[in-house]
Chain A
Protein backbone atom coordinates (compact mmCIF):
# COMPACT_ATOMS: atom_id res chain seq x y z
CA UNK A 1 0.00 0.00 0.00
CA UNK A 2 1.24 3.47 -0.77
CA UNK A 3 0.86 6.42 1.56
CA UNK A 4 1.62 10.08 1.00
CA UNK A 5 3.16 11.95 3.89
CA UNK A 6 2.09 15.56 3.39
CA UNK A 7 4.46 17.89 5.17
CA UNK A 8 3.04 21.09 6.64
CA UNK A 9 5.50 23.73 7.79
CA UNK A 10 5.35 27.16 9.38
CA UNK A 11 6.86 30.35 7.99
CA UNK A 12 9.81 29.97 10.43
CA UNK A 13 10.51 26.45 9.23
CA UNK A 14 10.54 27.61 5.62
CA UNK A 15 12.94 30.37 6.64
CA UNK A 16 15.32 27.95 8.34
CA UNK A 17 15.69 25.77 5.26
CA UNK A 18 18.74 27.59 3.96
CA UNK A 19 20.44 28.73 7.12
CA UNK A 20 19.90 25.98 9.66
CA UNK A 21 22.22 22.95 9.51
CA UNK A 22 20.09 20.97 11.95
CA UNK A 23 17.08 21.32 9.61
CA UNK A 24 19.02 19.87 6.70
CA UNK A 25 20.78 17.30 8.89
CA UNK A 26 17.52 15.98 10.30
CA UNK A 27 15.91 15.71 6.85
CA UNK A 28 18.98 14.12 5.29
CA UNK A 29 19.03 11.46 8.03
CA UNK A 30 15.30 10.82 7.69
CA UNK A 31 15.61 10.44 3.95
CA UNK A 32 18.46 7.97 4.34
CA UNK A 33 16.47 5.99 6.91
CA UNK A 34 13.44 5.58 4.62
CA UNK A 35 15.66 4.63 1.67
CA UNK A 36 17.55 2.15 3.87
CA UNK A 37 14.25 0.62 5.04
CA UNK A 38 13.32 0.06 1.39
CA UNK A 39 10.02 1.94 1.62
CA UNK A 40 10.80 5.14 -0.31
CA UNK A 41 8.75 5.53 -3.49
CA UNK A 42 9.24 9.21 -4.26
CA UNK A 43 8.78 12.72 -3.04
CA UNK A 44 10.15 16.22 -3.10
CA UNK A 45 10.28 19.40 -1.13
CA UNK A 46 8.30 22.32 -2.58
CA UNK A 47 9.45 25.89 -3.04
CA UNK A 48 8.15 28.48 -0.57
CA UNK A 49 4.36 28.99 -0.42
CA UNK A 50 4.58 32.55 -1.73
CA UNK A 51 6.05 31.23 -4.99
CA UNK A 52 2.75 29.45 -5.65
CA UNK A 53 0.14 30.69 -8.08
CA UNK A 54 -3.43 29.49 -7.77
CA UNK A 55 -5.86 29.42 -10.68
CA UNK A 56 -9.65 28.94 -10.80
CA UNK A 57 -12.05 29.16 -13.72
CA UNK A 58 -15.60 30.16 -12.75
CA UNK A 59 -18.39 31.02 -15.19
CA UNK A 60 -15.84 31.20 -17.96
CA UNK A 61 -13.72 33.71 -16.07
CA UNK A 62 -10.14 32.93 -15.20
CA UNK A 63 -9.08 33.97 -11.74
CA UNK A 64 -5.42 33.93 -10.89
CA UNK A 65 -4.21 34.48 -7.36
CA UNK A 66 -0.66 34.94 -6.12
CA UNK A 67 0.35 32.61 -3.33
CA UNK A 68 -0.93 29.29 -2.04
CA UNK A 69 -4.47 27.93 -2.31
CA UNK A 70 -5.36 28.30 1.35
CA UNK A 71 -4.37 31.01 3.77
CA UNK A 72 -3.13 29.01 6.75
CA UNK A 73 -0.41 29.27 9.35
CA UNK A 74 1.16 26.04 8.17
CA UNK A 75 1.58 25.42 4.47
CA UNK A 76 2.35 22.38 2.37
CA UNK A 77 6.12 22.22 2.19
CA UNK A 78 6.66 18.89 0.48
CA UNK A 79 5.54 15.29 0.21
CA UNK A 80 6.97 11.81 0.47
CA UNK A 81 5.39 8.65 -0.85
CA UNK A 82 6.09 5.44 1.05
CA UNK A 83 5.29 1.80 0.34
CA UNK A 84 4.13 0.14 3.57
CA UNK A 85 1.90 -2.74 4.63
CA UNK A 86 -0.57 -0.66 6.65
CA UNK A 87 -1.53 2.67 8.19
CA UNK A 88 0.08 1.58 11.48
CA UNK A 89 3.53 1.49 9.91
CA UNK A 90 2.85 4.71 8.00
CA UNK A 91 2.08 6.47 11.30
CA UNK A 92 5.33 5.14 12.80
CA UNK A 93 7.27 6.68 9.94
CA UNK A 94 5.26 9.90 10.04
CA UNK A 95 6.19 10.28 13.72
CA UNK A 96 9.86 10.02 12.83
CA UNK A 97 9.54 12.68 10.14
CA UNK A 98 11.27 15.87 11.35
CA UNK A 99 8.22 17.97 10.48
CA UNK A 100 6.09 16.02 12.99
CA UNK A 101 7.85 17.83 15.84
CA UNK A 102 7.87 21.35 14.38
CA UNK A 103 4.91 21.33 11.98
CA UNK A 104 2.46 18.60 11.04
CA UNK A 105 2.48 15.50 8.91
CA UNK A 106 -0.72 14.29 7.31
CA UNK A 107 -0.78 10.66 6.26
CA UNK A 108 -3.05 9.94 3.28
CA UNK A 109 -3.32 6.69 1.37
CA UNK A 110 -2.91 7.00 -2.39
CA UNK A 111 -6.02 6.06 -4.36
CA UNK A 112 -4.91 3.38 -6.84
CA UNK A 113 -8.48 2.42 -7.85
CA UNK A 114 -9.35 5.98 -8.80
CA UNK A 115 -6.08 6.18 -10.68
CA UNK A 116 -6.86 2.98 -12.57
CA UNK A 117 -10.22 4.34 -13.73
CA UNK A 118 -8.50 7.52 -14.88
CA UNK A 119 -5.60 6.00 -16.76
CA UNK A 120 -7.56 3.16 -18.39
Chain B
Protein backbone atom coordinates (compact mmCIF):
# COMPACT_ATOMS: atom_id res chain seq x y z
CA UNK B 1 0.00 0.00 0.00
CA UNK B 2 1.37 3.41 -0.95
CA UNK B 3 1.80 6.17 1.59
CA UNK B 4 -1.16 8.13 0.22
CA UNK B 5 -3.43 5.10 0.30
CA UNK B 6 -2.28 4.32 3.78
CA UNK B 7 -3.03 7.86 4.85
CA UNK B 8 -6.44 7.74 3.18
CA UNK B 9 -7.42 4.45 4.74
CA UNK B 10 -6.48 5.79 8.17
CA UNK B 11 -8.62 8.86 7.60
CA UNK B 12 -11.52 6.75 6.35
CA UNK B 13 -11.18 4.60 9.46
CA UNK B 14 -11.16 7.64 11.73
CA UNK B 15 -14.11 9.33 10.04
CA UNK B 16 -15.98 6.05 10.02
CA UNK B 17 -15.39 5.61 13.73
CA UNK B 18 -16.26 9.15 14.72
CA UNK B 19 -19.08 9.84 12.30
CA UNK B 20 -20.62 6.44 11.59
CA UNK B 21 -23.50 6.72 14.06
CA UNK B 22 -24.20 10.35 13.21
CA UNK B 23 -24.32 9.59 9.50
CA UNK B 24 -26.48 6.47 9.85
CA UNK B 25 -28.82 8.32 12.20
CA UNK B 26 -29.19 11.26 9.87
CA UNK B 27 -29.62 9.08 6.78
CA UNK B 28 -32.27 6.87 8.38
CA UNK B 29 -34.23 9.29 10.51
CA UNK B 30 -36.82 10.01 7.78
CA UNK B 31 -36.81 6.72 5.89
CA UNK B 32 -36.58 4.56 9.05
CA UNK B 33 -34.53 2.27 6.83
CA UNK B 34 -31.45 1.42 8.89
CA UNK B 35 -30.20 -1.28 6.55
CA UNK B 36 -30.51 1.05 3.58
CA UNK B 37 -28.63 3.80 5.37
CA UNK B 38 -25.86 1.41 6.42
CA UNK B 39 -25.52 0.03 2.90
CA UNK B 40 -25.36 3.52 1.43
CA UNK B 41 -22.75 4.58 3.95
CA UNK B 42 -20.57 1.54 3.43
CA UNK B 43 -20.77 2.13 -0.32
CA UNK B 44 -19.61 5.69 0.29
CA UNK B 45 -16.75 4.45 2.46
CA UNK B 46 -15.62 2.08 -0.28
CA UNK B 47 -15.84 4.89 -2.82
CA UNK B 48 -13.73 7.10 -0.54
CA UNK B 49 -10.97 4.50 -0.51
CA UNK B 50 -10.68 4.64 -4.31
CA UNK B 51 -11.50 8.30 -4.98
CA UNK B 52 -9.56 10.09 -2.25
CA UNK B 53 -6.08 8.83 -3.14
CA UNK B 54 -6.73 9.81 -6.78
CA UNK B 55 -8.46 13.20 -6.38
CA UNK B 56 -7.09 14.18 -3.00
CA UNK B 57 -8.80 14.24 0.34
CA UNK B 58 -11.98 16.36 0.49
CA UNK B 59 -11.92 19.33 2.82
CA UNK B 60 -14.70 17.94 4.91
CA UNK B 61 -14.55 14.11 4.68
CA UNK B 62 -17.71 13.68 6.73
CA UNK B 63 -19.77 15.94 4.46
CA UNK B 64 -18.36 14.13 1.43
CA UNK B 65 -19.45 10.78 2.87
CA UNK B 66 -22.89 12.12 3.68
CA UNK B 67 -23.46 13.54 0.20
CA UNK B 68 -22.17 10.39 -1.51
CA UNK B 69 -24.22 8.09 0.71
CA UNK B 70 -27.30 10.18 0.16
CA UNK B 71 -26.92 10.02 -3.60
CA UNK B 72 -26.78 6.26 -3.57
CA UNK B 73 -29.85 6.21 -1.31
CA UNK B 74 -31.74 8.38 -3.78
CA UNK B 75 -30.64 6.13 -6.66
CA UNK B 76 -31.89 3.19 -4.69
CA UNK B 77 -35.30 4.77 -4.12
CA UNK B 78 -35.59 5.68 -7.80
CA UNK B 79 -35.02 2.07 -8.78
CA UNK B 80 -37.71 0.91 -6.42
CA UNK B 81 -41.36 0.66 -7.32
CA UNK B 82 -42.59 4.26 -7.18
CA UNK B 83 -45.95 3.07 -5.96
CA UNK B 84 -44.34 1.73 -2.81
CA UNK B 85 -44.25 3.54 0.49
CA UNK B 86 -40.80 4.85 -0.29
CA UNK B 87 -42.25 7.44 -2.64
CA UNK B 88 -42.81 9.86 0.18
CA UNK B 89 -39.35 9.08 1.48
CA UNK B 90 -37.91 9.95 -1.89
CA UNK B 91 -39.77 13.22 -2.00
CA UNK B 92 -38.60 14.04 1.45
CA UNK B 93 -35.05 13.14 0.60
CA UNK B 94 -35.08 14.84 -2.74
CA UNK B 95 -36.34 18.08 -1.31
CA UNK B 96 -33.85 18.08 1.51
CA UNK B 97 -31.03 17.35 -0.87
CA UNK B 98 -31.75 20.28 -3.14
CA UNK B 99 -31.99 22.59 -0.17
CA UNK B 100 -28.53 21.71 1.09
CA UNK B 101 -26.32 20.35 -1.66
CA UNK B 102 -23.20 19.72 0.48
CA UNK B 103 -23.94 20.23 4.12
CA UNK B 104 -21.10 20.69 6.52
CA UNK B 105 -23.40 21.00 9.44
CA UNK B 106 -26.30 18.67 9.97
CA UNK B 107 -28.38 17.77 13.02
CA UNK B 108 -27.16 15.02 15.31
CA UNK B 109 -29.93 12.44 15.31
CA UNK B 110 -28.06 9.76 17.26
CA UNK B 111 -30.27 10.16 20.31
CA UNK B 112 -33.32 9.13 18.27
CA UNK B 113 -31.33 6.24 16.86
CA UNK B 114 -30.36 5.03 20.34
CA UNK B 115 -34.00 5.11 21.42
CA UNK B 116 -35.05 3.24 18.29
CA UNK B 117 -32.47 0.50 18.91
CA UNK B 118 -33.80 -0.01 22.45
CA UNK B 119 -37.47 0.33 21.48
CA UNK B 120 -39.88 -1.73 23.63
CA UNK B 121 -41.32 -3.49 20.59
CA UNK B 122 -37.92 -4.92 19.68
CA UNK B 123 -36.69 -8.09 21.36
CA UNK B 124 -34.60 -6.86 24.32
CA UNK B 125 -31.78 -9.28 23.48
CA UNK B 126 -31.35 -7.39 20.19
CA UNK B 127 -31.12 -3.89 21.71
CA UNK B 128 -27.38 -4.05 22.26
CA UNK B 129 -26.47 -5.76 18.97
CA UNK B 130 -28.51 -3.16 17.08
CA UNK B 131 -26.72 -0.31 18.84
CA UNK B 132 -23.32 -1.83 18.16
CA UNK B 133 -24.13 -2.09 14.50
CA UNK B 134 -26.13 1.05 13.79
CA UNK B 135 -24.29 3.49 16.03
CA UNK B 136 -20.79 2.05 16.02
CA UNK B 137 -20.69 0.15 12.75
CA UNK B 138 -19.50 -3.18 14.15
CA UNK B 139 -20.14 -6.18 11.91
CA UNK B 140 -22.15 -9.30 12.70
CA UNK B 141 -18.99 -11.39 13.13
CA UNK B 142 -17.67 -9.22 15.93
CA UNK B 143 -21.10 -8.79 17.55
CA UNK B 144 -21.77 -12.52 17.29
CA UNK B 145 -18.45 -13.20 19.00
CA UNK B 146 -19.28 -10.92 21.89
CA UNK B 147 -22.70 -12.50 22.39
CA UNK B 148 -21.67 -16.08 21.65
CA UNK B 149 -24.05 -16.32 18.75
CA UNK B 150 -23.02 -17.67 15.36
CA UNK B 151 -22.25 -14.79 12.95
CA UNK B 152 -24.84 -16.06 10.47
CA UNK B 153 -27.59 -16.16 13.09
CA UNK B 154 -26.62 -12.73 14.42
CA UNK B 155 -26.74 -11.35 10.89
CA UNK B 156 -30.24 -12.74 10.34
CA UNK B 157 -31.49 -11.39 13.66
CA UNK B 158 -30.13 -7.94 12.89
CA UNK B 159 -31.87 -7.97 9.50
CA UNK B 160 -35.17 -9.02 11.12
CA UNK B 161 -34.91 -6.29 13.75
CA UNK B 162 -34.19 -3.65 11.10
CA UNK B 163 -37.12 -4.83 8.99
CA UNK B 164 -39.32 -4.41 12.03
CA UNK B 165 -38.01 -0.90 12.57
CA UNK B 166 -38.69 0.01 8.94
CA UNK B 167 -42.08 -1.63 8.54
CA UNK B 168 -43.39 -1.74 12.08
CA UNK B 169 -44.18 1.93 12.51
CA UNK B 170 -41.42 2.53 15.04
CA UNK B 171 -40.87 6.26 15.17
CA UNK B 172 -37.48 7.92 15.24
CA UNK B 173 -38.06 10.30 18.10
CA UNK B 174 -37.00 11.15 21.59
CA UNK B 175 -39.76 9.79 23.85
CA UNK B 176 -41.98 12.27 25.64
CA UNK B 177 -41.42 13.03 29.28
CA UNK B 178 -43.92 10.53 30.68
CA UNK B 179 -42.22 7.64 28.89
CA UNK B 180 -38.70 8.86 29.16
CA UNK B 181 -37.51 7.15 32.36
CA UNK B 182 -38.54 3.69 31.15
CA UNK B 183 -37.27 4.19 27.62
CA UNK B 184 -34.00 5.69 28.82
CA UNK B 185 -33.56 2.72 31.12
CA UNK B 186 -33.63 0.36 28.13
CA UNK B 187 -30.95 2.42 26.40
CA UNK B 188 -28.76 2.41 29.53
CA UNK B 189 -29.26 -1.34 29.98
CA UNK B 190 -28.16 -1.96 26.41
CA UNK B 191 -25.05 0.17 26.83
CA UNK B 192 -24.22 -1.56 30.09
CA UNK B 193 -24.65 -4.96 28.45
CA UNK B 194 -22.03 -3.83 25.94
CA UNK B 195 -19.68 -3.18 28.77
CA UNK B 196 -20.33 -6.70 29.96
CA UNK B 197 -18.86 -6.42 33.41
CA UNK B 198 -20.83 -5.40 36.45
CA UNK B 199 -19.30 -8.28 38.19
CA UNK B 200 -15.77 -7.44 38.73
CA UNK B 201 -15.95 -7.27 42.50
CA UNK B 202 -16.77 -10.97 42.47
CA UNK B 203 -15.09 -14.09 41.40
CA UNK B 204 -16.20 -14.96 37.92
CA UNK B 205 -16.16 -11.43 36.69
CA UNK B 206 -15.80 -10.02 33.22
CA UNK B 207 -16.25 -13.22 31.32
CA UNK B 208 -17.81 -11.70 28.31
CA UNK B 209 -17.81 -8.64 26.16
CA UNK B 210 -14.17 -7.80 26.70
CA UNK B 211 -12.94 -5.43 24.06
CA UNK B 212 -16.37 -3.86 23.83
CA UNK B 213 -15.81 -1.91 27.05
CA UNK B 214 -14.36 1.04 25.17
CA UNK B 215 -17.30 1.06 22.78
CA UNK B 216 -19.72 1.10 25.71
CA UNK B 217 -17.94 4.04 27.30
CA UNK B 218 -18.02 5.84 23.96
CA UNK B 219 -21.79 5.22 23.68
CA UNK B 220 -22.39 6.51 27.20
CA UNK B 221 -20.35 9.64 26.45
CA UNK B 222 -22.41 10.26 23.32
CA UNK B 223 -25.62 9.79 25.29
CA UNK B 224 -24.48 12.12 28.07
CA UNK B 225 -23.50 14.75 25.55
CA UNK B 226 -27.01 14.55 24.09
CA UNK B 227 -28.83 14.42 27.44
CA UNK B 228 -26.59 16.21 29.93
CA UNK B 229 -29.21 16.43 32.66
CA UNK B 230 -29.94 12.78 33.30
CA UNK B 231 -28.12 11.62 36.46
CA UNK B 232 -28.50 7.93 35.60
CA UNK B 233 -26.41 8.45 32.47
CA UNK B 234 -23.72 10.02 34.62
CA UNK B 235 -24.10 7.09 37.02
CA UNK B 236 -23.66 4.54 34.25
CA UNK B 237 -20.63 6.31 32.83
CA UNK B 238 -19.09 6.61 36.32
CA UNK B 239 -19.71 2.91 36.94
CA UNK B 240 -18.01 1.89 33.72
CA UNK B 241 -15.09 4.26 34.21
CA UNK B 242 -14.45 2.84 37.69
CA UNK B 243 -14.38 -0.71 36.34
CA UNK B 244 -12.28 0.31 33.36
CA UNK B 245 -9.81 2.06 35.68
CA UNK B 246 -9.05 -1.27 37.34
CA UNK B 247 -8.43 -3.19 34.15
CA UNK B 248 -4.60 -3.07 34.39
CA UNK B 249 -4.74 -4.58 37.88
CA UNK B 250 -7.02 -7.47 37.06
CA UNK B 251 -4.42 -9.86 35.76
CA UNK B 252 -0.97 -10.69 37.05
CA UNK B 253 1.84 -10.47 34.48
CA UNK B 254 1.57 -14.25 34.06
CA UNK B 255 -2.15 -13.92 33.23
CA UNK B 256 -3.35 -15.07 36.62
CA UNK B 257 -6.74 -13.67 37.71
CA UNK B 258 -6.63 -11.26 40.67
CA UNK B 259 -9.87 -10.56 42.53
CA UNK B 260 -10.71 -6.93 43.24
CA UNK B 261 -9.95 -7.04 46.95
CA UNK B 262 -6.42 -8.27 46.22
CA UNK B 263 -5.63 -5.89 43.37
CA UNK B 264 -2.77 -3.44 43.72
CA UNK B 265 -4.45 0.01 43.81
CA UNK B 266 -1.29 1.61 42.44
CA UNK B 267 -2.12 -0.06 39.11
CA UNK B 268 -5.55 1.57 38.94
CA UNK B 269 -5.96 4.53 36.60
CA UNK B 270 -6.46 7.49 38.89
CA UNK B 271 -7.49 9.81 36.06
CA UNK B 272 -10.40 7.53 35.10
CA UNK B 273 -11.38 7.16 38.74
CA UNK B 274 -11.33 10.89 39.29
CA UNK B 275 -13.49 11.44 36.25
CA UNK B 276 -15.91 8.84 37.62
CA UNK B 277 -16.00 10.56 41.02
CA UNK B 278 -16.70 13.90 39.42
CA UNK B 279 -19.57 12.47 37.36
CA UNK B 280 -21.02 10.83 40.44
CA UNK B 281 -20.82 14.07 42.40
CA UNK B 282 -22.59 15.93 39.60
CA UNK B 283 -25.23 13.21 39.40
CA UNK B 284 -25.96 13.46 43.11
CA UNK B 285 -26.83 17.16 42.81
CA UNK B 286 -29.97 16.11 40.90
CA UNK B 287 -31.24 14.25 43.99
CA UNK B 288 -32.65 11.52 41.76
CA UNK B 289 -30.91 8.34 42.89
CA UNK B 290 -31.10 5.30 40.65
CA UNK B 291 -29.66 1.90 39.98
CA UNK B 292 -26.59 3.00 38.07
CA UNK B 293 -25.71 5.76 40.52
CA UNK B 294 -25.87 3.20 43.32
CA UNK B 295 -23.73 0.71 41.45
CA UNK B 296 -21.22 3.44 40.72
CA UNK B 297 -21.23 4.41 44.39
CA UNK B 298 -20.30 0.83 45.28
CA UNK B 299 -17.36 0.97 42.90
CA UNK B 300 -16.45 4.30 44.39
CA UNK B 301 -16.20 2.69 47.84
CA UNK B 302 -13.79 0.15 46.37
CA UNK B 303 -11.81 2.96 44.78
CA UNK B 304 -11.42 4.61 48.18
CA UNK B 305 -9.01 1.83 49.10
CA UNK B 306 -6.30 3.61 47.10
CA UNK B 307 -6.36 6.34 49.78
CA UNK B 308 -7.44 4.48 52.92
CA UNK B 309 -5.96 1.04 52.34
CA UNK B 310 -9.19 -0.65 53.40
CA UNK B 311 -12.56 -1.66 51.98
CA UNK B 312 -15.71 -0.55 53.79
CA UNK B 313 -17.68 -3.74 53.26
CA UNK B 314 -20.50 -2.68 55.58
CA UNK B 315 -21.16 0.37 53.43
CA UNK B 316 -21.02 -1.78 50.31
CA UNK B 317 -23.50 -4.30 51.67
CA UNK B 318 -25.88 -1.47 52.59
CA UNK B 319 -25.71 -0.17 49.04
CA UNK B 320 -26.41 -3.65 47.68
CA UNK B 321 -29.36 -4.02 50.02
CA UNK B 322 -30.77 -0.75 48.67
CA UNK B 323 -30.14 -1.98 45.14
CA UNK B 324 -31.93 -5.27 45.65
CA UNK B 325 -34.95 -3.37 46.95
CA UNK B 326 -35.07 -1.34 43.72
CA UNK B 327 -35.60 -4.42 41.63
CA UNK B 328 -34.17 -7.69 42.80
CA UNK B 329 -32.15 -9.62 40.28
CA UNK B 330 -29.90 -12.59 40.85
CA UNK B 331 -26.72 -10.64 40.09
CA UNK B 332 -27.47 -8.02 42.68
CA UNK B 333 -28.53 -10.53 45.31
CA UNK B 334 -25.41 -12.59 44.76
CA UNK B 335 -23.25 -9.50 45.12
CA UNK B 336 -25.15 -8.56 48.28
CA UNK B 337 -24.41 -12.00 49.74
CA UNK B 338 -20.73 -11.64 48.86
CA UNK B 339 -20.53 -8.24 50.55
CA UNK B 340 -22.24 -9.62 53.65
CA UNK B 341 -19.68 -12.40 53.73
CA UNK B 342 -16.84 -9.88 53.62
CA UNK B 343 -18.36 -7.88 56.47
CA UNK B 344 -18.36 -10.98 58.70
CA UNK B 345 -22.00 -11.85 58.19
CA UNK B 346 -21.39 -15.11 56.37
CA UNK B 347 -24.52 -16.85 57.71
CA UNK B 348 -26.66 -13.90 56.63
CA UNK B 349 -25.00 -14.02 53.22
CA UNK B 350 -25.84 -17.70 52.84
CA UNK B 351 -29.45 -16.97 53.82
CA UNK B 352 -29.65 -14.43 51.00
CA UNK B 353 -28.30 -17.04 48.58
CA UNK B 354 -30.65 -19.75 49.87
CA UNK B 355 -33.63 -17.49 49.28
CA UNK B 356 -32.95 -17.44 45.52
CA UNK B 357 -34.86 -20.00 43.45
CA UNK B 358 -32.42 -22.75 42.45
CA UNK B 359 -33.84 -22.86 38.90
CA UNK B 360 -32.66 -19.29 38.34
CA UNK B 361 -29.08 -19.91 39.34
CA UNK B 362 -28.26 -23.48 38.36
CA UNK B 363 -26.12 -22.20 35.46
CA UNK B 364 -25.19 -18.81 36.94
CA UNK B 365 -21.47 -18.92 37.66
CA UNK B 366 -21.10 -16.02 40.15
CA UNK B 367 -23.74 -17.52 42.45
CA UNK B 368 -21.70 -20.71 42.82
CA UNK B 369 -18.41 -18.89 43.23
CA UNK B 370 -19.83 -16.79 46.07
CA UNK B 371 -21.62 -19.74 47.62
CA UNK B 372 -18.41 -21.80 47.58
CA UNK B 373 -16.44 -18.97 49.14
CA UNK B 374 -18.95 -18.44 51.96
CA UNK B 375 -19.25 -22.17 52.71
CA UNK B 376 -15.48 -22.43 52.85
CA UNK B 377 -15.30 -19.54 55.29
CA UNK B 378 -17.48 -21.36 57.83
CA UNK B 379 -15.68 -24.66 57.38
CA UNK B 380 -18.34 -26.56 55.42
CA UNK B 381 -15.60 -27.96 53.23
CA UNK B 382 -17.52 -30.75 51.50
CA UNK B 383 -20.39 -28.43 50.49
CA UNK B 384 -17.90 -25.77 49.47
CA UNK B 385 -16.08 -28.23 47.26
CA UNK B 386 -19.32 -29.12 45.44
CA UNK B 387 -20.14 -25.46 44.90
CA UNK B 388 -16.59 -24.80 43.65
CA UNK B 389 -16.98 -27.58 41.11
CA UNK B 390 -20.18 -26.00 39.87
CA UNK B 391 -18.49 -22.58 39.61
CA UNK B 392 -15.43 -24.01 37.85
CA UNK B 393 -17.59 -25.98 35.43
CA UNK B 394 -19.51 -22.82 34.50
CA UNK B 395 -16.42 -20.63 33.99
CA UNK B 396 -15.34 -19.62 30.52
CA UNK B 397 -12.13 -17.90 31.44
CA UNK B 398 -9.21 -20.28 32.05
CA UNK B 399 -7.57 -17.89 34.54
CA UNK B 400 -10.73 -17.79 36.62
CA UNK B 401 -11.00 -21.55 36.40
CA UNK B 402 -7.42 -21.84 37.65
CA UNK B 403 -8.10 -19.35 40.44
CA UNK B 404 -11.12 -21.32 41.65
CA UNK B 405 -9.35 -24.66 41.37
CA UNK B 406 -6.65 -23.28 43.63
CA UNK B 407 -9.15 -21.95 46.16
CA UNK B 408 -10.92 -25.30 46.19
CA UNK B 409 -7.80 -27.13 47.36
Residues B396 and A29 in contact, CB atoms below 8 Å apart: no
Stretch at the interface among B85-93, B146-154, B233-241, B298-306: B146-154
Give Cα A98 to B391, complex, Å: 13
**What number of A-B contacts does a CB cutoff of 8 Å give?**
61
Residues A32 and B401 in contact, CB atoms below 8 Å apart: no
Prevailing SS type, chain A contact patch: helix
B404 to A: closest C-beta gap in Å: 8
The answer to whether A100 and B150 touch (CB under 8 A), given A25-B405, A32-B390, A37-B362, is: no
Size category of the B interface is: 20 to 34
CB contact between A96 and one of B149, B362, B388, B395 (< 8 Å): that residue: B395
A81 to B: closest C-beta gap in Å: 17
Size category of the A interface is: 20 to 34
Residues A37 and B363 in contact, CB atoms below 8 Å apart: yes
- For B395, the closest partner residue in chain A by CB is A96
The answer to whether A33 and B148 touch (CB under 8 A), given A25-B405, A96-B396, is: no
Residues A91 and B396 in contact, CB atoms below 8 Å apart: no
Give Cα A44 to B362, complex, Å: 24
The answer to whether A26 and B397 touch (CB under 8 A), given A36-B362, A87-B153, A88-B148, is: no
Question: Chain B, 132-168, contact with A by CB distance < 8 Å: what is the 0/1 string?
Answer: 0000000000000000111001000000000000000
- For A28, the closest partner residue in chain B by CB is B389
CB contact between A95 and one of B153, B389, B396, B402 (< 8 Å): that residue: B396
CB contact between B402 and one of A22, A31, A36 (< 8 Å): that residue: A22
Q: Which of B388, B389, B397: most chain A Cβ within 10 A?
A: B389
Give Cα A91 to B353, complex, Å: 27
**Set of chain A residues within 8 Å of B148, measured between Cβ atoms:** 88, 91-92, 95
Prevailing SS type, chain B contact patch: helix
Kindly identify, within residues 89 to 120 of chain A, every residue whose CB is under 8 Å from any CB belonging to chain B: 91-92, 95-96, 98, 100-102
The yes or no answer to A30 lying at the interface (CB within 8 A) is yes
Give Cα A36 to B363, complex, Å: 9
The yes or no answer to B37 lying at the interface (CB within 8 A) is no
Question: Chain B, 245-271, contact with A by CB distance < 8 Å: what is the 0/1 string?
Answer: 000000000000000000000000000
- For A21, the closest partner residue in chain B by CB is B405
Q: Which 10 A-B pairs have the closest CB atoms?
A: A33-B393, A29-B392, A29-B393, A101-B398, A29-B389, A30-B393, A91-B148, A95-B396, A32-B389, A25-B405
Q: List 27 A-B contacts (CB under 8 A).
A: A22-B401, A22-B402, A22-B405, A25-B408, A26-B392, A26-B401, A28-B389, A29-B390, A31-B393, A32-B389, A33-B390, A33-B392, A34-B393, A36-B362, A36-B390, A36-B393, A37-B362, A37-B363, A87-B153, A88-B148, A91-B148, A95-B396, A98-B398, A100-B396, A101-B396, A101-B398, A101-B401
